[in-house]
Structure 1
Amino acid sequence: MITHSTPSIKKQVYDRISYLGTVSKADLLQHFALASSSMTRLLEEMTSQGLIIASGLGSSTGGRKPVLFQTRPKYRYLLGLEISRIYSKLGLYDLHLNTLSVIRWEMDAQMTPEHLADYVEGAAADFLAKEGISADQVLGIGIGAVGPLDRKQGIILEPEFFPSPHWKNVPICDMLTARLGIPAKLDNGANTALIGEHWALRNDDIEHALYVHAGINIRSAMMSGGKLIRGAVDTEGAVGQMIIQKDGPRLRGQGNKGALEAFVSVPSLVERVRAQLKTGRSSLLSSFSSDRVNFATLIDALSQGDLLVKEQFAETASYLGIGLANLINTFHPEYVILGGPLVSADPLMFNIALETAKTNIYHYPEYSPVFSHGMLTDEAVATGAAIMVLHEWEGNE
């Protein structure tokens, strides 16, 4: 069962074991204000329940070697769903977040919410049958979706640039709960990606992290003290409205003038290349009609060393670096994760953005965050959505 109440001490201990991977009773006593006898009884109860298992003996400090515990991966299972503008992905995971099955679908004009829900229902049934799992062994399905959202009500509100026009005010949690018979939990994809990446970095004990996704627009998430930072409303794409040029251009006539997304997004990059081609600039794309100049053809031209396209990608990366520096100077994270189609298009995007950001970080190099593509990359959103369900689980039968 998934709840929103304060976790019980048993669930807190379970979460600590899950986060660390393998721990001794002494490790847990350093973190929890429990008597040794109380911790012993709790670990015995959790072992009897099947939540945790003994996984060997640790190193001795002079006495008997301590028993090591870890969570039991096959005790229950999790589903994680990513809903984006380009594709959607469903994964089945055990409680160690091992991927057992995964499938993805293209988000074309025919992919309505109803069709996607039908696909998810069918794929989930196939996953469970393949693994020999019953539906009551699945804790729930986590959903990481493009916003804006009503996270508490489980509704996708009015996302922009979806191929199908039907993705407005979609009660996605109710739809999937009705089809799957399990709880569903919704958050924006940037948040679930950061949840996933933070889990993957758990051995590094990262407390403060920034995630920025550059694609159709700019999406971001922040974490402080190991917890997501949330505003009064879903603000996944708000960073794209950061003004970096007074009275500058607007993206497709919307948003703030001179906003970051007017310089760093797939649509703005395509528009700038088309504009340059109209002036007669030489390029591998010079003979293309305007409608054939799209992100796919830009990627192809970039891979062939087209100087005009490379110039425009580099300019996009520089603006991304400026936006990053503004966020970093405000938040001061330890770890900065960059993702999305623009960043993964070519190494020059990551490298130029990083160097531009470093040049504009206050107190650099004394303060120097780690920059990364992330550990999970394309798997981060769906994996993080599954972890979100695990976090909400009470730890009961």
Structure 2
Amino acid sequence: MKNSSDRRTDPPKKRIHALVSSMGTASKAELLPASGMTGSSLTRLLDEMVAEKLLSASRLGPSSGGRKPILYEINPESGYFFGLEISRRTSSLGFFDARMNAKALLHWRMDEAMTPEQLVDFAARNIRSILSDHRIEPSQVRGIGIGAVGPLDRKQGLLIAPLHFPAPGWKDVPICRLLEERTGIPARLENGANAALLGERWAMRGDNPQHLLHVHAGIGIRTAMMSGGSLVHGSVDMEGAAGQMIIHMDGPRLHSDGNYGAWEAFASVQAIERKAQADAKAGRRDVPGAAAVPPERITYDMVLQGLHDGSPYAREIFLQAAVHLGIGLANLINVLHPETVLLGGALIRSSDHVYRTAIETARRNIYYSPHYSPVFSKGVLQEDAVVVGAALTVWQEEP
């Protein structure tokens, strides 16, 4: 969503559509101050949008002494939207009406067989099935928004070379073109962290937050920032670069292109997995899974299960990761000064203790604390944030 000053530069219908969406229901009197239009022009525009079935005007609001005002709201059947999340561990597909009500949500694990071609086939089949189930024609769908791990080229609709996918082939993937060819529906691309932040802000729109930081700690570390209610895009879209922030000189690195001592080498799914494998190779028998499989086959999920089963080793390794996550958070907060910090990803979801430890560590290292202290949250949508935000990237272009 854009802030009110940005909306004044939008085409009138798009501006009114965004205003009504943010309010839920709105009278002409409520729309007029922010519309930048005269009363007569706004009346004509509202009548046109009702005639075009972009808006519904079937309810009357409370009277302030005269005639009860007409309340306008988005017509939920004026258009439909898909959101597709492409991530390394799990991906998802969502179907939404024009009020962004979820009509279908599907999640699946990404495995060694989920190549780009398989994912496109899987998504296309499910898109057709969802439309058939809801008796909706493809022509009624405005678009497919894609929220994907980077690096990527948003303008070209291209996934450049994202790391750590279980399946091969995830390099120079023209994901928008492939989906458009298979479905006949236009597609647009945004990086997943930005999409998640868009989705969460939509869910929080009643509070109208303006300055937000989103940090996703999963296979790697992904971040997004919003200032003045708008996403901050850099000159390139290299999502995951924040994970290369150095928090320990001469520390380890996760891959050959990464920095030594990078944030992701201490606070990520891969960091925990590799530390457990190294400790098992060094002879520690209390590593979850060490008695059942060779050290190199110990997985994050095994260590996570150990955490849930009360393993002291697992508790130790997860808390170390949480402390390092908090240190990196403090670094970003000291630079960006957000009012709200949204945290997500597998590491954050691992346990409440990990989440609290990361927050407490960050708070202890915020320079102006306690005079400045951002609000920390797991968000409202959480695991569904990317798919909702991806759909919103298309929805925001309406009508």
Q: Same fold (TM over 0.5)?
A: yes
Counterpart pick for 1:314 among 312, 319, 326: 319
Gaps of 5+ in 2: 1-8
CA-CA distance at 1:284 after TM superposition: 5.8
Contact 1:281 1:308 in 2 (8 A): no
Match of 2:295 in 1: 290
Residue 202 of structure 1 aligns to a residue whose secondary structure is coil
Q: TM-score with structure 1 length normalisation?
A: 0.94
- How many residues align structurally? 389
Q: TM-score with structure 2 length normalisation?
A: 0.94
What whole-Å deviation, never above 9, does each CA across 1:191-239 have from its counterpart, x for those lacking one? 1111111100000111111111001100011101111001011131011
Contact 1:282 1:308 in 2 (8 A): no
Counterpart pick for 2:11 among 8, 11, 28: 8
Match of 2:193 in 1: 190
Match of 2:53 in 1: 50
Matched, 1:19 2:19: no
Contact 1:206 1:226 in 2 (8 A): yes
Match of 1:71 in 2: 74
The percentage of counterpart residues that share the same residue type is 50
Letter in 2 for 1:283: D
Counterpart pick for 2:130 among 108, 121, 127: 127
Counterpart pick for 2:180 among 177, 198, 209: 177
Structure 1 Cα separation of the partners of residues 107 and 352 of structure 2? 25
Structure 2 Cα separation of the partners of residues 89 and 40 of structure 1? 41
Matches within 5 A, 1:43-122: 43-122=46-125
Residue 287 of structure 1 aligns to a residue whose secondary structure is coil
Matched, 1:366 2:334: no
CA-CA distance at 1:20 after TM superposition: 1.8
Matched, 1:327 2:327: no
Matches within 5 A, 1:266-285: 266-281=269-284, 283=286, 285=288
Moved more, 108-117 or 40-49: 108-117
Moved more, 373-382 or 60-69: 60-69
Match of 1:3 in 2: none
Residue 396 of structure 2 aligns to a residue whose secondary structure is helix
Structure 1 Cα separation of the partners of residues 362 and 78 of structure 2? 44
Structure 1 Cα separation of the partners of residues 120 and 63 of structure 2? 52
CA-CA distance at 1:110 after TM superposition: 1.8
Closer/same/farther in 2, CA of residues 51 and 114 from structure 1, 3 Å limit: same
Matched, 1:343 2:348: yes
Match of 1:137 in 2: 140
Matches within 5 A, 1:225-236: 225-236=228-239
Cα RMSD between the aligned structures?
1.5
Match of 2:170 in 1: 167
Match of 1:209 in 2: 212
CA-CA distance at 1:12 after TM superposition: 0.8
Residue 118 of structure 1 aligns to a residue whose secondary structure is helix
Matched, 1:381 2:394: no
